[in-house]
Amino acid sequence: MKLNNSLRTRTSTLFYLAATASLLAKVGQAVNHANFKTCEQSAFARRHRLFADTMAKKAAEPNNKNAKSSSSSADGSTHSASSPYSVIDSSVHLDGHTVTASVQHEQAQVPLHFEIAFLKSGTVRICVQEVDPLVPRYNEAHKHILRDKGSSLPYASPEDIKMATEAVNGLVTHTVSYVNGSSAFSVRMTENPWTLEYLVNGKPTMQLNTSGLFHFEHLRQRPADGNLDDVDGGWEETFNNWTDHKRRGPESFGLDINFYGFEHVYGIPEHTSPLSLKDTRGGGEGAYNQPYRIYNLDVFNYQLDSPMAIYGSLPFMLAHNAEATVGVFWVNSSETWVDVTRKLNRGGSNQQSVVNTHWFSESGTMDVFLLPGPSTADVYRQYLEISEQTPMPREFALGYHQCRWNYEDQEDVLAVSAKFREHSIPYDVIWLDVEYTVGKRYFTWDYDKFPNPLDMQQELARNGHKLVTISDPHIMVDNDYHIWKEGNENGYFIKNIGGLGNYEASCWPGVSSWVDFLDPAASKWMGAQYGLDKFPESTTDMFVWNDMNEPAVFDGPEHTMDKALIQHGGWEHRDVHNLYGMMQQRSTFEGLLAREPIAMRPFLLSRSFYAGSQRYGAIWTGDNTASWGYLRASIPMLLGNNIAGMHFSGADVGGFFGNPDPELLTRWFQLGAWYPFFRGHAHFNTERREPWIFGEPYVSYIRNAIRERYRLLPHWYTLFRETSLTGMPLIRPMWMNFPAEPDLFAEQDTFMVGSSIMVAAITRPDTSIPVDVLFPGEEPWYDMHTHVAYPAQLATQFVVDLANTLVFARGGSIIPTREQQRQSSAYMKRDPFTLYVYVDQAGFAAGKLYIDDGETYDYQSGAFIERELTFLGSKLVSRASPLTKNTSAYQTFVQRMSGINVERIVVVGLAVAHNVTEAVVVENKTTRTVNVSHSHSSKIVAADTISNNSPCIVICNPAVFIGDDWEISF
């Protein structure tokens, strides 16, 4: 029965009040695990784990008549040979860059079609599905995830691919080889049982089905006798009060991917696990008993140190040892679980350590990429071959964002903005949560609270600030609400089971429908709502926040959608669940892109994400809590996001739930200034916690943290440029820059910002407790606040009061800054630069400075300045990067930047600094002399008192133009 409008609105309001009351009652409590499945409660996951147990039992019983003898390679790698899958005789063929084969189970005579293809970089793609599926499987995830929709991946040239076949002791193997530059890659496939090894330069790195866990549930007819128990939970399964009706029956698949010679694996966010992923089966103390779940969910007050699924997911995993880094990218958008177990062999045998991983997905087809490295940079180059890079963001997006659920009204917004100016604290964006709307109807304004949104935005813009408003994917069911009315009339909403009628359930507005972003027409329609002609009183200084897009459903199974709902093309929601948030993000991005005649880079934030989300904007770690534990957990979470390619990410500074005390809030701002996305946010039931709330001395400490972020905006922007070109993370675990130092492989309290800055996070109360810091590598490190030098390989402790932080520049780095303090990044655009030169032991340093307009896509046509900076032999040189082309766009941009100079150069650690009295500047064939001054570092307290004063040479006003070639010699 349909509700009339007034009753529906009243019901929605009552539901909202009840939901809010329930939410508030839970603040401070842990997640309710009863609302979310364990592996044992997910039927397909339970089946795959049981299969794994069965195979392990067979492997342990060599006399079992069903077990086959295991085999060993000459390199010492072992193979479990009990898999029931074998290659069908004479089915292996090499066709261009792809090897095809047919594989089938020894009992279920349903042939599976395998494709194994080499890309130019050495990456291998493996695709599997039935030769003749009973009904089509969902096989379009790659169209939304991969570069160019996966239609034009750079496959290797056929003439570079060779295949050799041999039979040894009755085992037939096919070795497919490919040489790329100095690296030789090969795939070794055994026919019976089917296994596959990836070798790099003759060494095995990744092994598939060597534990015998490949298992593919072929599509089948529904039992005619109505007996749905022929497969455990294959046709129906119940969780709490929900029954999942599976019209296609069991269709899952799983595969073991084992990393030979490795002890550490990373990635597969989003979880609250440590950086180096824990074991999930049979591990020692502290190990999990659940796999890592890859399934986007709105998990209230999520648990720390857990493999539970939360808001976003990205099935990309790295393995690293002192010799190599390799990766796996699992392209499937249905619910997926990953088990991790280790076999560590550190003795004298030829058996090396192995990290065994077991991946299993509910539906779709198997599509797996193996990225061979061998270096970390190689892996990310290979990842960029298949997945688009993180684009350059709007420059303002790198500044500080101030958010709260909710700023009460227009007066409150402008008062908060004025307070930032009063306290001389810069910020760039202020945010509005759901309360700006009329009854949670997105694209509307509550004019009682916000009587003149245009005036408010213009007032913010006059001071260089932007506004962000929230827009969720659920649309209130109300015939008087134009968005719902248009969407309903055009069939743009997700459909009920069976495809008849809109799916309706509850979220913030009450009874709601959900936009089907899988439908290109619906996606375009929703994106168009952000147009200036559609969104009332919006301006080009207003941007978007996509929340609740896992999708969150208050009264749905696991607080999300029933998997059997129907989306565009007749696909079930189960096939595309993890894509949903990313596809809303894409719709919003395209809508913002189209709203202006000259394309401006959009800015938007999404809570849910998947592979491909990096193309569209920032994400954050969701609804955290004001505690030291959540502060600590933010580091491995954000490092995990960056490892997996979601670079522009952050965590709510201060914690969304609860009330941080002054010390916690201060430390969170000090750490948050090193998040790629830097935003403070809070629940409406918390006390206000803007940076000035606790008064002195805390406001000064927080002001200094935010100002440090703004000083380093040129460096952050240059790092984004590097990321957009190379795929390398913005913030990195220590091992990425120091790959041969095993002590760093699990380090997560200290991390790198790019390759030049090390942050030793302070994430515990009590400033009397020393903080341990190891200075890795071979070059000295310099405290960025005092310029004290610390030698490489020193392990020391620091006692740090609340006014200070531990941030170090790597010797051999040049870091650009802007030192003049402004109220927003918009007012810094024509400020001069300062260059900090931190020399290594040989007196060398290098760095880059990248500048574009920070707003448009003109940089893609060459409208940018990119300088390569080197210091050697007491000479600092600025040269254009090889990517600089003397195009008209470049010349126009350089002209626009005229007058922007380097105002100061600080050289730290140069041994002959005390002898230097002047410097010679050569620019545009003109030579001039400038004076220099000297300064010395001040010491900070190190528990072992090891520190060195570092002499500094300071050149004030060298007045060299950022776009020119120049040299400065001492």
Q: Would you please indicate which residues are annotated as catalytic (active-site) residues?
A: 547, 550, 623
In what helix (H) or strand (E) does residue 959 lie, and over which residues does it extend? Answer: strand 951-961
In b/e form, how buried is each residue of 949-967, taking b as 16+ CB within 10 angstroms?
ebbbbbbeebebbbbeebb
Task: Please answer whether residues 267 and 644 qualify as being in contact, where contact means their C-beta atoms are separated by less than 8 angstroms.
Answer: yes
What are the CB-based long-range contacts (under 8 Å, 24+) for 229-233? 231/47, 232/43, 232/46, 232/47, 232/50, 233/43, 233/44, 233/46, 233/47
The interaxial angle of helices 713-726 and 376-386, nearest 10 deg, is 70
The one-letter code for the residue type at 360 is F
> Rounded to an integer, what distance in angstroms lies between the CA atom of residue 616 and that of residue 602?
8
Q: How far is CA 824 from the centre of its chain?
A: 26
Half-sphere exposure of 799 (CA within 13 A, CB side): 9
Task: Please answer whether residues 171 and 638 qualify as being in contact, where contact means their C-beta atoms are separated by less than 8 angstroms.
Answer: no
Write out the two tokens for 581.
């948030």
Q: Are strands 781-783 and 806-810 parallel, antiparallel or unpaired?
A: antiparallel
> Rounded to an integer, what distance in angstroms lies between the CA atom of residue 454 and that of residue 660?
34
Sheet holding 966-969, edge to edge: 926-931, 918-923, 966-969, 875-880, 865-872, 845-851, 813-817, 833-838, 901-908, 951-961, 933-936
Write out the two tokens for 689.
């916690």
Q: Are strands 813-817 and 806-810 parallel, antiparallel or unpaired?
A: unpaired
C-alpha pair distances (Å), 739 with each of 183, 516, 527, 731: 19, 44, 43, 15
- Residue 622 DSSP code: -
Phi-psi region of 158 (alpha: psi -120 to 50; beta: other; left: phi over 0): alpha
357's CB contacts (< 8 A; 6+ apart) are 256, 257, 258, 259, 265, 317, 328, 338, 339, 340, 341
Task: Please answer whether residues 439 and 475 qualify as being in contact, where contact means their C-beta atoms are separated by less than 8 angstroms.
Answer: no
Task: Please answer whether residues 551 and 573 qualify as being in contact, where contact means their C-beta atoms are separated by less than 8 angstroms.
Answer: no
> Rounded to an integer, what distance in angstroms lies between the CA atom of residue 607 and that of residue 605?
7
> Rounded to an integer, what distance in angstroms lies between the CA atom of residue 200 and that of residue 326?
10
* CB-neighbour burial class of residue 784 (10 A; exposed 0-12, middle 13-18, buried 19+): buried
268's CB contacts (< 8 A; 6+ apart) are 277, 292, 294, 313, 314, 315, 316, 317, 338, 640, 644
In what helix (H) or strand (E) does residue 487 lie, and over which residues does it extend? Answer: helix 482-489
∠ CA 173-177-179, rounded to 5° = 165
Q: Spell out the SS3 assignment of 867-887.
A: EEEEEECCEEEEEECCCCCCC
Write out the two tokens for 967.
């040299």
- Residue 182 DSSP code: T
Calculate Rg over the CA atoms of the chain: 29
Nearest to 253 by CA among 126, 100, 360: 360
Beta bridge partners of 817: 834
Task: Please answer whether residues 822 and 426 qualify as being in contact, where contact means their C-beta atoms are separated by less than 8 angstroms.
Answer: yes
Helix (H, G, I), strand (E, B) or coil at 896: helix
